[in-house]
Amino acid sequence: MQGVLGAFHELDTTVAVIKELKQKKLGDVTVYSPTIRHEIDDAIDAPVSVVRRFTLVGGLLGVSFGYWIAIWSSTYWPLVTGGKAIASWIPYTIIGFEVMVLVGALSTVAGMFINSRIPRLHTTTGYDARFSGAYFGVFIACSPDKAPQAEEMLRRHGAQEVRREH
Amino acid sequence: MAINPAPGMGVRGPNIASADVQLPAVRDYEQVDREISATLGFTKKWFLGLAIAVFFMLVGASAWTYQIYWGLGQAGYEPPVMWGVYIITFVFWVGIGHAGTLISAILYLFRAGFRTSIYRAAEAMTVFAVMTAGLFPIIHIGRPWKFFWLIPYPNWRLLWPNFKSPLVWDVFAISTYLTISTTFLFIGLIPDIAVLRDKETNPTRKRILGILSLGWRNSDREWRHFAKAYLFLAAFSTPLVLSVHSVVSFDFAMALTPGWHASIFPPYFVAGAIFSGFAMVWTIVIPMRKWFKLEHYITLNHLDATAKVVLFTSMVVGCAYMIEFFVAWYSGIRAEQEFFWNRVFGQWYWAAWIMLLCNMVLPMSLWSQKLRRNPTWLFILSIFINLGMWYERFVIVVPSLSHEFEPWQWGSYTPSWIDMSFLVGSFGWFFMWFLLFVKQLPVMAIAELKEIIAPRAKYAHAHHGVDTAGHHGAYDPHTPGEHD
C-alpha cells in the first residue's frame, strides 16, 4: 500500500489533521497512537467494534454446550441417586456458566484478533517504531497524484516528519 | 486539591476518591517508557531472590517425588481428617488470585483510577497463584497421573464425570479461571510488548518480542477492537471471579459436616479471597515499588486506596465469622453449637485465635490514616493477613473433620514434613514465576499509564478538544501523598 505518513508529537495537532483529512477525503486514514485516546476516536468517528457479536455468539454457544454435555452424559449413563432427577438443571447451571465464560471470552479474543488483523507476521507499510513510544502517526493511503496535497496538510499541522511510503 | 486542616487538627493527607488517584510526578510518555523499561534490568538482588525461590520450589518438588514413590500415606492424613494442608493451601492460593482479578477487571469496570499502577502485578499474581493452587488437588489425589479423569472426554469405557459433584465444578471453575486470567493478562500485555519490541536492539530478543506482540502496530483499528475486547473480558472476569470462590466454598458447604453446611459460605469465601489477595498484593508491590524506584507510580494514595478495600473486606470477613457463631447458636442444633464452642476453646483454639487476631483485629489499625499511608506497616500487616487467612482455611478444614457428629469419630491431625514441604514449595513456585515475570515483561501497564497522564499538546488544549489532564480532570500536583 502506498501513501504518506506523518509523525506528530502532539495530540491536538494529530486530532486537527485527522479532522481535516476526513473532510478532504484524500484517502483512507490510519492513525497510530501510543495509547487509547478518546479524542482520536472522536475525530475518526469509526463504527462500533463488531467484537461484541463474537462475544454474544461465543457466550451462547458456550452456555448451550455446558448444559448439553452435563445433561447428555447424565442421560447417557442414567444413575438414579437418592431419587433425584437424572438431569438436574441447578448444579448444571454452574457448568453452563463456566463454559459460557470460557467460550465467550475466547471468542472475544478471536474477534479482536480477526478484526484487528493480528497476528501479523510482517511490519506493514506506514508504521514507525516511535508510534509505540511518544509519537502519534497519521498515514494516508493515497495515489502519488494526491500525495503532495497530503504532505502539505501534514506539514501545515505541525508534523515532525513527513515521508512517502511505498 | 488543597487540604485545609481544621483548627486544632494536625495536617492530614487527602481523603481522595479512588478514581482521582493520579501520577503528577510522571510528566510524559517518554518518562513512562524509560522508567518502566528500566525495571527489566537484571540485578544481583533479583538473582538472589530467584535462587531462594527456586530452592524452596525444589524442596516442594522433592517432597512430591518422595510422596509419589512412597504413596499418599506420607502426608499427615489420619482418619477422620482426610483433607489437610493440601486442601487448605489450595483454597489459600485460589483466594490470593482473586484480588488480581478484582483489581484488573472489577475496578476497571468501576473506573477506579488507583488500579492503573498496580493491576499488572496483581494480574500476574493471579495467574501464578492459580497455577500454584491448581497443583494441590492433583497432589492430593495421590496418583497425579490420573487427574485427567476429572475432565469430560469421550473414552472407551463410556464413563463421564459426575456433574453434580462440587469437585467437578471445581475443575471447571479453576481451569476456566486460569485460562481467562492468563488470556486477560496476555491481551493487556500486547501493546506493552510492542513498546519493548520497538525499543529493543538485540535482534534475537526483538524477534521474540515481535512474535509475542503479534505484530501489534498501535493503529486506531487495533485500539478500537482491543478496547472492546478488554471491556468484555473484564465483564466476563467479574462474575467469574465471584463464581470461582463460591464454587470452592461449595466443596465444603455441600457437605453435612458441622461448620461447613452453611449458606453464608460463598460470600464469606469471596470476601476472604479479596481480603487475602489484597494483602498479597501489598507483599509483592511494596518491596517492588522500593526496589524498582517506582514510588511515584505506586504512591501513598494508591496504598491508601487499597488499604480501604482491605479494611472493608476485613469487616465483611469478621462479620461472617460472627454470623457463623450466631447461626450455630440460633439453629439449636447441638452438634453445631458444640463444634463452634470447640473451634475457639477446644483442640484447635490457637488456630482460631490466630485467625481472629490477624483477620479481624490487626486490620482495624487501618482506620488510622497515618497507618494506611505507612508502607512499612502495610507490609508487616500483609504478612499477618496472609498468615491469618491460611489459618482461616485450616480452621475451616481441620476442626470440622476432626470433630464431627459422633464422639467416637473424633480425631486429630498433625501435618507431616511432606505437607510442610509442599507448603513451603508452593511459595517458592509462586515467587519463582513472579520474579521471572518482572524481569521479562513490564510490571506496569505502559499503555494504560500513558492513558492517564497528560498528552503533549501544541496549543494547550484550547479549542482543540484535547483533554490534557488525562482522564480525571484538573489536578493539583502538590497534593500530599503523591510522594513518600
Residue A26 in grid coordinates: 484524500
What is the pLDDT, as a whole number, of residue B330? 93
Q: Flag if B464 and A73 touch (Cβ within 8 Å).
A: no
Work out how many CB contacts closer than 8 A connect A with B.
Answer: 205
Say which DSSP state B79 is in: T
Chain B hits for A3, CB-CB cut-off 8 Å, are none
Instruction: Report the C-alpha gap between B257 and B30 in whole angstroms.
Output: 59
Helices B265-291 and B119-140, axial angle in degrees (round to 10) = 120
Residues in chain A closer than 8 A to B183 (CB atoms): 105-106, 109
Degrees (nearest 5) of the Cα angle A33, B202, A36? 15
Task: Tell me if chain B has a CB within 8 Å of the CB of A17.
Answer: no
Contacts of B418 by beta carbon, 8 Å cutoff, 6+ apart: B63, B66, B67, B74, B75, B76
Tell whether A146 is within 8 A of chain B (Cβ). no
Does the beta-carbon distance from B176 to A101 stay under 8 Å?
Answer: yes
pLDDT given for residue B409 in this prediction: 87
B231 vs B481: CA distance, rounded Å: 30
- Chain A residues in contact with B256 by the CB 8 A cut-off are none
How far from B36 is each of A51, A155, B30, B130, B289, CA to CA, in Å? 31, 32, 10, 26, 11
Whether cis (ω within 30° of 0) applies to the bond prior to B80 is yes
Domains of chain A plus CATH, in order, are: 3-47+123-165 (3.30.70), 51-116 (no CATH)
Residues 6+ positions from B264 with CB-CB distance below 8 Å? B320, B323, B324, B327
- What is the span of the domain harbouring residue B285? 21-154+172-452
How far the first Cα of chain B sits from its last, in Å, is 18
Which phi and psi angles does A3 have, rounded to 5°?
170, -160
Report the alpha-carbon distance of residue B427 to residue B55 in Å, rounded: 10
Contact status of A45 with chain B (Cβ, < 8 Å): no
Measured between alpha carbons, how far is residue B27 from residues A134, B412, B451, B469 in Å? 12, 60, 12, 11
Q: What gap in Å lies between CA A68 and CA B221, rounded to an integer?
A: 37
Is-contact A119 B190, C-beta < 8 A?
no
pLDDT greater than 90 at residue A121 = no
Residue B164 counted as domain residue: no
Report the C-alpha gap between B482 and B16 in whole angstroms.
12
How many CB atoms within 10 Å of residue B156? 5
**Does any domain span residue B220?**
yes
Q: What is the CA radius of gyration of chain B?
A: 24
Q: At what angle do helices B375-402 and B85-101 cross, to 10 degrees?
A: 140
Picking from B89, B33, B177, the residue whose alpha carbon sits closest to that of residue B415 is: B89
Residue of A15, A35, A111 with shortest CB distance to B466: A15
Sign of the torsion formed by the C-alpha atoms of B411, B412, B417 and B418: positive
Q: Which residues of B touch A124 (CB under 8 A)?
A: 215, 217
**C-alpha pair distances (Å), B469 with each of A147, B23, B412, B480:** 35, 11, 62, 18
Q: Would you state the pLDDT for residue A1?
A: 75
Residue-wise pLDDT tens digits, B318-329: 999 999 999 999
If you search the block for the grid coordinates 504532505, which residue do you land on? A151
**Helix, strand or coil for residue B41?**
coil
At B235, which helix (H) or strand (E)? helix B220-253
- Tens digits of per-residue pLDDT, A66-110? 999 999 999 988 878 777 789 988 999 999 999 999 999 999 999
- Give all strands of the β-sheet with A3-8 in edge-to-edge order: A28-32, A136-141, A3-8, A161-165
What pLDDT does A165 receive? 85
Angstrom distance (rounded) from CA B323 to CA B331? 12
Residues A32, B219: C-beta atoms closer than 8 Å: yes
Cell numbers at residue B335, please?
A: 452438634
- The least confident of A27-41, A129-143, B449-463 is B449-463
User: For residue A4, what is the enclosing H or E element?
Assistant: strand A3-8
In this prediction, residue A4 carries a pLDDT of 94
Q: How far, in Å, CA of B6 to CA of A79, rounded? A: 72
Task: Give me the average pLDDT of each 10-residue run along chain B (484 residues).
Answer: 43 60 85 94 93 98 96 92 95 93 90 90 96 96 92 88 92 96 96 94 93 94 95 95 95 92 94 95 96 93 93 96 94 90 93 97 96 96 98 95 90 95 98 96 94 81 49 43 54
- Our CA-based measurement puts residue B151 at a distance from the nearest CA of chain A, in whole angstroms, of 12
CB contact under 8 A, A30 and B447: no
B356 located within any domain: yes
Distance CA B129, CA B427 (A): 9
Contact B458 A46 (CB under 8 A): no
Q: What is the pLDDT of residue B21?
A: 76
- Cα-to-chain-centroid distance, residue B159: 36
A129 Cβ under 8 Å from any chain B Cβ: yes
Confidence at residue B467, expressed as pLDDT on a 0 to 100 scale: 52
On whether the CB atoms of residues B428 and B58 are closer than 8 A, the answer is: yes
Whole-angstrom distance, CA of residue B27 vs CA of residue B450: 10
Q: Provide the number of structural domains found in chain B.
A: 1
Element (H, E) at B98: helix B85-101
A122 in reach of chain B (CB within 8 A): yes
Helical H segments across B258-359, by residue range? 265-291, 300-331, 334-345, 349-356
Task: List Cα–Cα distances, B349 to B354, B416, B444, in angstroms.
Answer: 9, 20, 42
Give the mean pLDDT of A8-21. Answer: 93
Residue B225 resides in a domain: yes
Does residue A5 sit in helix, strand or coil?
Answer: strand
- d(Cα B299, Cα B220) in Å, to the nearest integer? 31
pLDDT of residue B237: 95
